[in-house]
Amino acid sequence: MSSTTQARPVRRSARASLTALVLGAALAGCGSDEQGAGGEGTTYRVGAPIVQSGPGAFAGEPVAHGIELAVQEINDSGFLGDGSTIELEVIDTAGDPAKAIAGFKQLEADRVAGILCCTLGGEAGALAPVLATGDVPAVVTVSILDSLADPPHLFRPFEVPSAAGGTYDEFLDAVLGGSDLERAVMVVNNDNDAMVQDAAVYAAGLERNDVDLRDTVQVATAETSFTSVATQVVADDPDVVVASTIGSSTAGLARALRERGWDGPIVSNVGADSAAAYDASGGAMAGTIFPTPYHASIARNEMAADFAEAYEAAHGSAPDMFAAQGYTAMWLLAAGIRDAGSDDPADVGAALADIAEQDSVYGTIAYADGQAEVQEPAHHLVWGEDGTVSEWSP
């Protein structure tokens, strides 16, 4: 049964007032270089086998930036105990499941305390059974593949948007319900399990809202030319195009559609919340509507505002949803390490399984069997022609 232990990040602007809380929550130890010692003066090794190149880099790069910002705050604040720090190693998986497994095996051999993983669905699907047979706990950064959480091995600090009655159902009913949209074509990354999973939810949402799905066009995540795809879509004369695709594919699709004169709305997923994807589209993603649990311009709480300020100071741009996910995942893993008072991965996994709540940039997260449940509804946003987003309204 989960305890009421909380993963409570230290915000920069409130660090002085929370010093006593943080140091009191840190578990003291003897300090040793031996595995499992933990405590004051310990260096905890953490690995992150995540996408840094290839089509998934639009998500993986900000994830890494969010992780790195969290590590800096954790180390500067003394969250793990006086003199104890996180040492981070990022391994580029390039979105390749085999590289994700190889990266994990390397980190496992190095006896890291835990890892941050699973940017794309293919990586997540490949890593999950491997993680289930070992001791090293993992926190998911981005993948929305269903049924990933598996304590004490795998934890996910954000909601699965495709869950019944969840983010996508609410989003589709809001955007499609009562609209004059009658005909749709859907484009799906058919080699990405999460996108295929989401496509089924989107197809059901179209049917539920009396929108005729005329065709479903399949495209690989590595595809860079969307000429034939867009030509096929436009030929079906849809009122709306549904993109169950990763951000880079959404960008390519939008550009190709606009070049062919189609100017209707594109309804996409959380992957569309990416400035990098918008820029890659050359502005063609204007009019793309999407849900997201986090956006820097709409801070839910002080923590979200502080995170956005610190991230922009470090990187010269506002954080997107992916940066927020990396940041939140690292804080969760740090809380598990702190509560374990040990760098033994089995101890960290057990401590993570006992965390019931986490304060986050999304609001308060409650955990059930390692899966986050967030009370606050997602934002429904739309890209504008000037590269900014605003709240979508009918």
Per DSSP, the residues of 366-387 read: EEETTEEEE-SPPEEEEE-TTS
Q: What is the mean pLDDT of residues 348-370?
A: 95
- Distance (Å, whole) CA 144 – CA 198: 9
**Confidence label for 38 from pLDDT (cuts 50, 70 and 90):** low
Domain locations along the chain = 5-159+298-374, 167-292
Task: Indicate the SS3 state at residue 58.
Answer: helix
Range of lowest pLDDT (3-7, 29-33, 173-177): 29-33
Count other C-beta atoms under 10 Å from residue 163's C-beta: 15
Q: What is the mean pLDDT of residues 176-203?
A: 95
Helix residue spans in 341-373 (DSSP H): 345-353
- The hierarchical CATH code for the domain 167-292 is 3.40.50.2300
Give tens-digit pLDDT for 52-99.
999 889 889 999 999 999 999 999 999 999 899 999 999 999 999 999
- CATH architecture of the region 5-159+298-374: 3-Layer(aba) Sandwich (3.40)
Range of lowest pLDDT (140-149, 255-264, 305-314, 344-353): 140-149
Tokens representing 162? 């495709």
Burial class (CB in 10 A: 0-12, 13-18, 19+), 215: middle
Contact 338, 26 (CB under 8 A): yes
Say whether pLDDT at 28 is over 90: no
